[in-house]
Amino acid sequence: MSETNRLKLGIPKGSLQDATIALFERAGWRIFANGRSYFPSVDDAEIECMLVRAQEMARYVEHGALDAGLTGNDWVLENETDVEYVTSLTYSKQSRQKVKWVLAVPEDSPFQRPEDLAGKTIATELVEFTKRYFAGKNIPVTVEFSWGATEVKPPMLADAIVEVTETGSSLRANRLRIIETLMESETQLIANKKAYQDAWKREKIENISLMLNAAIAAQGRVGLMLNARKVDLDVIIGVLPALNSPTVSQLSDQEWVALNTILDEALVREVIPKLKAAGATGIVEYPLSKVVL
C-alpha cells in the first residue's frame, strides 16, 4: 500500500486515551494499545496510529508528521497552530460535556476578579493562552508553567491558578473558588491542511468523522418500536419525544400502523407506560450503536 493511501492518525495519550479508544470501537475501529508502545495496532490497513500527548498533537498535525489527530481546541489555541478543524467531538474522560479552563483562587483569598491579580503569580499548564488572556485585559501578572498538581499550589506557590475542570469537584476539594472562565474546550478531530487537500485522505478523514459522530449521537439513546391503531396515532405521537419525527409504516391490517423512533434512554421508563396507556402494543426497546444525523 502506498504512503498516499495510508492515514497517519494521532490518538491522545493520557487521560483521554481510554475514552478515545472506546469511542473508536463503538464507531467500528478496534485499536489495540499494548504495553509501552506508542504505535497501537488498528484493524484497518489504511490507518497507522500513534499515541501523542494531546498538548502536542496540534503541532505534529500542523507540521505533517500526522495527517490527522484528536485533541482539544484548547491545545490548538495554546500552540497557535494552523490546522484544519474537521469536527467537534464532545466526549471526555468523565462526561459528554465540554471542559472549562477557569481562573481559580483560594476560598478565603481577597481576590474577586481578574483585575485583583495585578502583580500576582498564576500557575498553569496553559501558559501562552493565559499570558495572552491577561495581556488582552492589560493586567500585569507572572504566569508560571505547572508540571501538575496545580490545585495545591495556591496560596504558597502561586496566588491563583488557571486549570481545566469538568465538574469542579477537584477545585472544591482543594478549597478553591472560580472567579472567571477563560474558555470552554472539547475534543476536535483536526487535520493537516495539505493532507486534507488530498482526495483520498480527505475522504478517509471525513468517513472517520461521520462514524465517530454517529457513535457519540447513539450514546444514551435507544430505539423504540411499537404498534398502534390509526385512531390512537395522534395521541401516541404526542407521547413520543422523538429525535426526529417517528417513522410510521402501514401494517397488513389497515387499521394498524408500526412506529419506529429514537429517544433518550433516561425517558424510557416514563414513556413506555404512557404509550401502553395510550393504546400502543408490541413495544420493543433496542440498543443503538450509531445514529447518523
Contacts 24+ apart (CB under 8 A), 14-20: 14/53, 14/54, 15/93, 16/54, 16/70, 16/92, 16/93, 16/187, 17/51, 18/93, 19/91, 19/92, 19/93, 20/70, 20/187
pLDDT of 145 above 80: yes
- pLDDT tens-digit map of 42-81: 999 999 999 999 999 999 999 999 999 999 999 999 999 9
pLDDT at 96: 65
What are the Cα distances from residue 13, in Å, to 10, 190, 264? 9, 16, 31
pLDDT category of residue 241 using cuts at 50, 70 and 90: confident
pLDDT at 129: 97
pLDDT at 37: 83
Residue 25 burial (CB count, 10 A): 14
DSSP string for 95-151: -SS-EEEEEEEETTSS--SGGGGTT-EEEES-HHHHHHHHHHTT---EEEE--S-GG
pLDDT at 3: 57
pLDDT at 77: 95
pTM summary value? 0.84
Q: Quick check: 55 and 75 in contact, CB under 8 A?
A: yes
pLDDT of 2 above 60: no
pLDDT at 195: 97
pLDDT at 93: 55
pLDDT of 4 above 70: no
Find the Cα–Cα–Cα–Cα dihedral 205, 207, 209, 210, rounded to 10°. Answer: 170
pLDDT of 35 above 80: no
pLDDT of 168 above 60: yes
The mean pLDDT of 200-227, rounded to a whole number, is 95
pLDDT category of residue 293 using cuts at 50, 70 and 90: confident
Residue 291 burial (CB count, 10 A): 17
pLDDT at 53: 94
More confident of the two residues 3 and 122: 122
